[in-house]
Amino acid sequence: MSRVCVISPFTGLAGDMLLAALVDAGAPLDAIRAAVADTGLTGWDLTVTQVLTHGLAASRADVSVSDGATSRKAKELIAMAGRVRQRAVAEVATKALCAIAEVEGRLHGEDPGEVHLHELGGHDTLVDIVGAAAALHALDVSAVHCEPLPLGSGGVRTAHGILPCPAPATAALLENAVVTGTELKGETVTPTAAALLRAVKADFGSPPPMRLAVTGYGTGTRTLADRPNIAVVRLGDVETDQVRDLVLLETNLDDVSGEVLGYVVGRLLEEGALDSWVTPAVMKKGRPAHVLHALVTPETADEIEGLMFAETGTLGVRRSTVRRTAAARTTDVVHVHGVPVRRKHGPHHGKPEYDDAVAVARRTGLPLRTVLALAAQQPEER
């Protein structure tokens, strides 16, 4: 069984709205605060309160600040997010902040790490991004789906003046996302929310059939006259094996080194490939070669195919439709020398998460194989 999160951006989506909705759905506030504290950020406090908006009870996340720092360089925020002890949380948070840095750098013609974030450089950005990543991790969410994002019209006031909605950074971050129009004016999707969706590789297709577990409602600070300003998250459990049609991309390569192939496999996985691998082959005239494979969803096939062309220089990529049966799976957490390690269980086998085990090995000095064995042998924690 795996936990799925479906986001319904009723009036839009902001980082604080998503965080509040996840807390409303059961994410522990203490775990979220602890993850933010790991960053070294000072002079802040996070509270989540229940409010009534148009007759609907929802949660609101508020960040109070006492040190007054409102802007930072992107590299400062990225370094702070990288300090979070839970590596899965740090990975999502740094990916989101790197995405913001890249688009801001491109828009302003600056180095991404050196770009100075104004509205996005304050406490709120770090708390919302790290907090949402920690909430998803605490809720054991393995996949995020998002309904079409409503984009408002008009302008938004920034440090550079009034800019069109969606703001240029938001528009860049939403490339390949599914969006729709709305009669609402102003900023309905923030760069922070867009970056989080990119970092978790949110799927904008139809979510799989699931058993609905809980629904959470998060509201922002904006008040609307005729409707609640909310984002909704629905958490559900996928209980049965999932059969889905996927796309298999393949290309034959006889002039690409092993080092480059290893890098390309990693890039394909980072950009959303469900799996990627390389097999040896012998081509015409006895030339030794490799076949690069990528298993992708139909929605990401064009993007991943383009990346294969760009990174390998190949002259052709084959595309075929395959049907995959994904076994139901569950996840639990055990502690090895006090450090949490997630374990993924299928119907016939289970194993610890590699990244978590590596974090334990580096922190304790134990051999990785020892950490893996200890995590596998641990009884389920209650």
Three-state DSSP string of 60-78 = EEEEEECCCCCCEEHHHHH
**Nearest-10 crossing angle of helices 301-312, 258-270:** 160
Indicate whether 174 pLDDT > 80.
yes
Which stretch of 54-63, 91-100, 328-337 has the lowest confidence by average pLDDT? 328-337
pLDDT at 240: 57
pLDDT at 382: 58
**Nearest Cα residue to 177 out of 143, 142, 202, 144:** 202
Mean pLDDT of 218-242: 89
CA–CA dist 199, 140 (Å, integer): 16
Indicate whether 287 pLDDT > 70.
yes
pLDDT at 280: 96
Which pTM does this prediction carry?
Answer: 0.66
Indicate whether 113 pLDDT > 70.
no
Domains in the chain, please, with CATH?
2-238 (no CATH), 242-326 (3.30.70.1380), 330-377 (no CATH)
CA–CA distance from 219 to each of 21, 32, 230 (Å)?
A: 8, 18, 4
Instruction: Report CA 44 to chain centroid distance, whole Å.
Output: 24
CA–CA dist 121, 178 (Å, integer): 27
pLDDT at 68: 61
Q: Which residues pair with 53 in a beta bridge?
A: 56
Question: Using alpha carbons only, what angle is made at residue 87 by residues 93 and 169, rounded to the nearest 5 degrees?
Answer: 15
pLDDT at 248: 97
Mean pLDDT of 186-196: 94
Mean pLDDT of 45-59: 95
Q: What is the band of 319 on the pLDDT scale with cuts at 50, 70, 90?
A: very high
Mean pLDDT of 359-371: 94
**Do 308 and 294 form a contact (C-beta atoms < 8 A)?**
yes
**Nearest Cα residue to 233 out of 261, 255, 210:** 210
**pLDDT > 70: what percent of the chain?**
92
CA–CA dist 108, 172 (Å, integer): 13
pLDDT at 178: 93
pLDDT at 320: 97
CA–CA distance from 173 to each of 21, 177, 258, 340, 358 (Å)?
A: 22, 9, 32, 32, 31
pLDDT at 25: 97
Which stretch of 36-45, 66-75, 164-173, 232-241 has the lowest confidence by average pLDDT? 66-75
Indicate whether 12 pLDDT > 50.
yes
- Considering the chain, what is the average pLDDT of its residues? 90
Which stretch of 72-81, 151-160, 208-217 has the lowest confidence by average pLDDT? 151-160
**Nearest Cα residue to 132 out of 13, 274, 12:** 13
Omega cis (within 30) before 379: no
Mean pLDDT of 154-175: 79
Q: What is the band of 121 on the pLDDT scale with cuts at 50, 70, 90?
A: very low
pLDDT at 241: 59
Question: For the segment 237-273, what is each residue's pLDDT rounded down to a tens digit?
Answer: 886 557 788 999 999 999 999 999 999 999 999 999 9
**pLDDT > 90: what percent of the chain?**
68
Question: For the segment 21-31, what is each residue's pLDDT rounded down to a tens digit?
Answer: 999 999 999 99
Indicate whether 119 pLDDT > 60.
no
Q: Which residues pair with 155 in a beta bridge?
A: 164
pLDDT at 264: 97
Q: What is the band of 75 on the pLDDT scale with cuts at 50, 70, 90?
A: confident
**SS3 of the chain:** CEEEEEEECCCCECHHHHHHHHHHCCCCHHHHHHHHHHCCCCCEEEEEEEEEECCEEEEEEEEEECCCCCCEEHHHHHHHHCCCCCHHHHHHHHHHHHHHHHHHHHHHCCCCCCCEECCCCCHHHHHHHHHHHHHHHHCCEEEEEECCEEEEECEEEECCEEEECCCHHHHHHCCCCCEEEEEEECCCECHHHHHHHHHCCCECCCCCCCEEEEEEEEECCCCCCCCCCEEEEEEEEECCCEEEEEEEEEEEECCCCHHHHHHHHHHHHHCCCCEEEEEEEECHHHCEEEEEEEEECHHHHHHHHHHHHHHHCCCCCEEEEEEEEECCCEEEEEEECCEEEEEEECCCCEEECHHHHHHHHHHHCCCHHHHHHHHHHCCCCC
Q: What is the band of 362 on the pLDDT scale with cuts at 50, 70, 90?
A: very high
pLDDT at 166: 83
- Sign for the CA dihedral angle at 75, 80, 83, 85 comes to negative
**Do 85 and 69 form a contact (C-beta atoms < 8 A)?**
no
